[in-house]
Amino acid sequence: MSFMTKLHRAWDRNNSLVCVGLDPDLDKLPECVRHEPKPIFAFNRALIDATRDLVCCYKPQIAYYAAFGAEDELAMTIDYLSQTCPDIPVILDAKRGDIGSTAAMYAREAFVRYGADAVTVNPYMGTDNLKSFLDYSERGVVILCRTSNPSSAELQELVAGDRQIYQYVAEYAATRWNYNHNVMLVVGATFPEELGRIRQQCPEIPFLVPGIGAQGGDVAKVLENGQTADGKGLVINSSRGIIYAGKGPDFAAAARRAATALRDEINRHRREATR
């Protein structure tokens, strides 16, 4: 099943636009899992078991595994997802960007080594960088467009010709890069007006939306500006707000409560077509 098919079905099956970011920091793990042989995997497994009926995606960030030499626990996490909830897509958040044979190896890392359904990529080097990913026609390619961090404006809002840089990224995503219809865009919740402009340029492309919760993004504004005509089109990520909702032995139950609250808040603002 292709990434896009999985995503659309997950939106419907769980009536959810929530993505849980699996960003485990060893220093923040609950005490009850720290002494497990594979503590990161134990933490992730409990979170997945608690939330898999509430989400449309999971998004592990590779840096949180590589920094601790825990790439095996990343692989174990993605394998566990494929076994226990194969219909929920997995986005590997790696933000890769390079050209030629190096890009091909990064694509192989994401899609063959780890078996992710999609991967985040940096478009700064242009089509040469993206093609190796895009050619995996059944996998998703999630392109940075208007990111949620405060200093993103330094480059993304620069004007070239008659528009800003992020608007060119959106244009190329909707046209030359989407030849396999497997493109998503990263558009931050912290810039809702820009999110609306990008939605006008890309009426059907799904958006991965970081910035809710700890970064201060507003759910209502994201839905107002970003949802598609059918009340979907968004993968709204929360990492810290869900996975660290509890610090004790009941951390997974706390994560479930946080994921439920976010799903319900999002659904209150979705178009009636989804009800």
State yes or no: is 95 an active-site residue: yes
Contact 16, 56 (CB under 8 A): yes
| Structure tokens, 123 | 């478009």
- Tell me the one-letter amino acid at 198: I
Annotated active-site residue in 95, 221, 232, 247: 95
Positions annotated as catalytic residues are 95
